[in-house]
Amino acid sequence: MYQQAFESFLKNTDEKKIFLEVLTAYIKEKNCKSILDIGAGNGDLSIPLSKLVDTYLAIEPIQEQADILRQNNVPVVQDFFPCNIDQNFDTVLCSHSTPGKPEKFIPFINKAFELCKPDGNLLIITYNDSEKTWNTMLEKCSLEWPGFHNDRLALLREFLNKNFNNIVETEIITHISSPSYNEFIHALAFVYTDGKHSDEDFVNSKLVQQYITENHYVDGVYSFPFFHYMFSIKKPL
């Protein structure tokens, strides 16, 4: 289920393209030579990133995703993080892989930060899911999201600001877009379900269809914006 839903999402989003542009600029600006990519995914982002640095290591728990990385000569540890990694990196990247609840994201982030070299950076990218257009749609359509709870981003930001210094926060905007409502709604449903359970309630919702048509259909194209935050946390020398 996850792989099929993920492929539908990838077909209709510019997320990988935008992230690649942002991260390529980041790597050049920081003169980054090594990356640990936690939750590297299917390779659309991780494969080109791996070619920009001297040392690249992916952590990817899903078998199908890890196999794609291996087939493209990307070094990969097939495991859930935190796991044993015996080297340190200029940048440790966590792109939509940080757990949602404090009891899980605190040890996750602390371990990831340990793996940064002195003067290196921990880079966390996550959805702004508690406000903006996504939350507005859920409220207007009377939907309870089975994903992260509404306080997740606030709790993450509070933890980072309390425990780390030298944090730079950047907003990134991406879109899911398609002229086909069927393709569009299934791609949007991947975000709603994370590909882990049935999307029928979301896909078949008349309230969702009406809301999308009234608010996110322009010139023959359905398009929905997503707001992400990128936290860059510098490790002291």
DSSP 8-class letter at 165: S
Listed in sequence order, the residues at least 6 apart from 145 whose beta carbon sits closer than 8 Å to its beta carbon are: 129, 138, 192
Give the integer Cα–Cα distance in Å for 58 and 130: 29
Give the integer Cα–Cα distance in Å for 122 and 118: 11
Residue 199 pLDDT: 81
Give the integer Cα–Cα distance in Å for 127 and 172: 9
pLDDT in tens, the chain (237 residues): 566 677 778 899 999 999 999 999 999 999 999 999 999 998 999 999 999 999 999 999 999 999 999 999 999 999 999 999 999 999 999 999 999 889 999 999 999 999 999 999 999 999 876 667 888 898 899 888 765 556 788 899 999 999 999 999 999 999 999 999 999 999 999 888 876 677 888 899 999 999 999 999 999 999 999 999 999 999 999
Listed in sequence order, the residues at least 6 apart from 35 whose beta carbon sits closer than 8 Å to its beta carbon are: 27, 49, 50, 53, 55, 56, 57, 89, 90, 91, 92, 93
Residue 131 pLDDT: 66
Residue 2 pLDDT: 62
Amino acid type, 237 = L
CB atoms within 10 A of CB 210: 12
CB atoms within 10 A of CB 85: 19
Residue 129 pLDDT: 65
DSSP 8-class letter at 96: S
What is the assigned CATH class of domain 2-234?
alpha beta
Residue 91, SS3?
A: strand
Residue 163, SS3?
A: helix
